[in-house]
Amino acid sequence: MKILSIIIVFVILVVTCTPAPRYHYSPPSTQQPQKPSSQKPDKQKPPPMLIQGAQHTAMFIASFYGLNDGFDGKKAANGEIFNKDALTAAHKSLPFGTILKVTYPKTGKSVNVRINDRGPYIAGRDIDLSYGAAVQLGLVKHGVGKVKVTVVQWGTGETKHHE
């Protein structure tokens, strides 16, 4: 019984101490958005849809990263080195290189960011801005906020290749 208890504790320690992968990438769907059906809505809210152009915007819940979390100077999901002061952002599915105009209604400030990373992976958040972008928007003191997002230019989704 004592050996079985030791094995169970060991397995629990190994499983809980294994680092989870930081990024999970699924390419965005190439299908056209479907019209809402009359079926029951899902319990989980679908991500906002974005189409290039000023008349097509979505409201996102934004947070920021790169200040004291160890990401600055590390490789971003697209292969480049993350710079907390650059005007970049992480999104779960938008193609790398996509340029977004992000406006924070609380301050009225806007900034253009380029998607170079994946995330956020905290429930209820749609976009993770670099610290530099959050500073320009005035989002840092709030931490999390609702922002208006407009696609300025779609990216190709290409990653940086390092040898």
For residue 95, is the peptide bond before it cis, meaning its omega torsion is within 30 degrees of 0?
no
Flag whether 96 is in a domain.
yes
**Domain extent at residue 66:** 58-156
pLDDT the model gives residue 70: 87
**Cα–Cα distance measured from residue 153 to residue 97, given in angstroms and rounded to the nearest whole number:** 8
SS3 call for 89: strand
* CB count in 10 Å sphere of residue 67: 14
Q: How many domains would you assign to the chain?
A: 1
Sorted by sequence, the CB contacts under 8 Å of residue 23 that are 6+ apart come out as 77, 117, 118, 119
Q: Which residues pair with 99 in a beta bridge?
A: 114, 153
pLDDT the model gives residue 25: 33
Q: Which helix (H) or strand (E) holds 21?
A: none
pLDDT the model gives residue 100: 96
Flag whether 49 is in a domain.
no
Q: Convert the pLDDT of each residue in 38-91 to its tens digit.
A: 444 444 444 556 665 555 789 999 999 998 888 999 999 999 999 999 999 999
pLDDT the model gives residue 163: 39
pLDDT the model gives residue 57: 84
* Residues recorded for the chain: 163
Percent of the chain topping pLDDT 90? 56
Q: Which CATH number covers residue 79?
A: 2.40.40.10
Flag whether 112 is in a domain.
yes
Q: Which helix (H) or strand (E) holds 102?
A: strand 99-104
Kindly tell me if the per-residue pLDDT of 92 is higher than 60.
yes
Kindly tell me if the per-residue pLDDT of 127 is higher than 90.
yes
Considering only residues 7 and 146, tell me which one the structure prediction assigns the higher pLDDT: 146
Flag whether 33 is in a domain.
no
Q: Convert the pLDDT of each residue in 12-38 to its tens digit.
A: 544 444 443 333 333 344 444 444 444
Q: Please give the DSSP secondary-structure letter assigned to residue 116.
A: E
pTM value is: 0.67
